[in-house]
Amino acid sequence: MAEVDPKLSGGCACGAVRYEIGAAPIVVNNCHCTLCQKQTGSTSVVNLFIESEHIRLLSGETSENVVKTGSGGDHVIVRCAACGTALWSFYPRLGRLAAGVRVGTLDTPGAAPADAAIFVADKMPWVTLPEGIPHFETVYNPAELLPPARFARMKALAALREAQKAAQA
């Protein structure tokens, strides 16, 4: 697994929104599921997952759209309010504690290579998967893929999310 520079920055297509990321990602997934295809209008999406506290909005205004995930939960897409570029998402599993930043909005998208390709059972038949990146028909077990320190960050977020849910019940 490639280590990613924790000082990444990015923005939207029109330049109104600028952001920076202040930590290395937990994981970078390339998702080929049919929902990601529909929501992006592309063959897949590459998301850099990071604790939300490490994303700093430097300029511009954002808006949010809510769509459903395959499990029926709310998937919140944060976009540039001016041009509509999707910048990052909040998924139901971790809520607003973690964001999936769209790697294509980074100034240097090649600096955040995918750790895994997921839902490859749904990939377009003409898409080829890169060598050296694990791929999975659906999902994977993070404990088996991620280095221990990155997995520990994911576990801590999951525990915090469960505590939030319990407090709301």
Q: pLDDT tens, 88-108?
A: 999 998 999 999 999 999 999
Q: Is 123 helix (H, G, I), strand (E, B) or coil?
A: coil
- What is the dihedral angle through the alpha carbons of 147, 150, 153, 155, rounded to the nearest 10 degrees? -40
The pLDDT of residue 15: 98
Q: Where are the domains of the chain?
A: 8-168
**Residue ranges of the chain with pLDDT lower than 50?**
none
Domain 8-168 - what CATH class? alpha beta
Residue 165: how many other CB atoms lie within 10 Å = 10
The pLDDT of residue 2: 55
